[in-house]
Amino acid sequence: MPKAAPLYELQKKRLDAYMDAGYNFDPDKAADYTPDAGWRVDDYETELPTEAPGPAEAQGSWAAAREVLRNYTFPPPNLITGIFLPDQPLDQRVMVLRGRFLLFTFWFGVRIGAVTDETRTLADGSQEQVWGYNYRTLEGHFERGQIDFSVHKNLTTGRVWFHIHAYSQTGRISNPFYWLGFRLFGRMLQKRFATQSMKRLREQVEEMLRKGWTSPAAQQAPPVQSVSAQEEAREQLREST
């Protein structure tokens, strides 16, 4: 049987459509996006295998997590799959997210807003090595906001962990069916995405360490399924592309 084409080739038209799309919120006003202003602000964290004190090891837990983050293999594919050009620089990456909700498949666009690669001094005087990035929602997304993914190592203790920080708000949804669905299930899906992403990243890091630091294949995910044949799904697809 012929080998299936990679997702970024199958979804080239959608990727092209989002390359010049604008954000559906103003990232410069991030300080105003608080719970009092009607935004959800979330933080999640999970422990990863520890390392010896000192800078991150070349083939250790921190470096393995960095590769999992870079390849975006940690989100649960039954909820979200990221599709992007593998040779595009990370700080310029645009992704099409294939989301699954109820009986439908949806397509959303996001863009990497910033990449972090630094050593920070903590309040107790110790230092931590941090790598990560954020992505921001583009026009047509059902939500608006930003999510940050980062891997940290305390250089004094050797502790390594993965952190998710996000602020979000339901975006403009013209179809009342989808609006109601996201009102009822959107928060549950957000939490499931975060908890399953942490679990999958931890499992992939542990597997890489067991195998001697073997990186997962970029964009490892099931083949793309056709969008729902129902008219409502087709209507949403037209609105978001």
Please list the rounded mean pLDDT of every run of 10 residues in the chain (241 residues): 79 90 94 94 97 95 97 91 92 90 79 96 92 93 90 97 92 53 58 93 96 60 33 37 35
Quick one: pLDDT at residue 220? 43
How far apart are the C-alpha atoms of 183 and 186, rounded to whole Å?
Answer: 6
User: Can you read off the two tokens belonging to residue 194?
Assistant: 């975060």
Q: Tokens 């390849």 belong to which residue?
A: 71
The closest alpha carbon to 80, from 52, 108, 57, 45, belongs to: 108
The CATH number assigned to the domain with range 11-234 reads: 3.30.530.20
For 180-210, the pLDDT digits (tens) are: 455 544 556 778 889 999 999 999 999 999 9
What are the φ/ψ torsions at residue 179 (nearest 5 degrees)? -60, -45
Q: Is 208 exposed, middle or buried (0-12, 13-18, 19+ CB in 10 A)?
A: buried
How far apart are the C-alpha atoms of 216 and 68, rounded to whole Å?
Answer: 7
Quick one: pLDDT at residue 45? 97
What are the φ/ψ torsions at residue 211 (nearest 5 degrees)? -85, 5
- Would you say the C-alpha torsion 102, 104, 105, 108 has a positive or negative sign? negative
Residues constituting the chain: 241
User: Can you read off the two tokens belonging to residue 9?
Assistant: 């080739």
Quick one: pLDDT at residue 237? 35
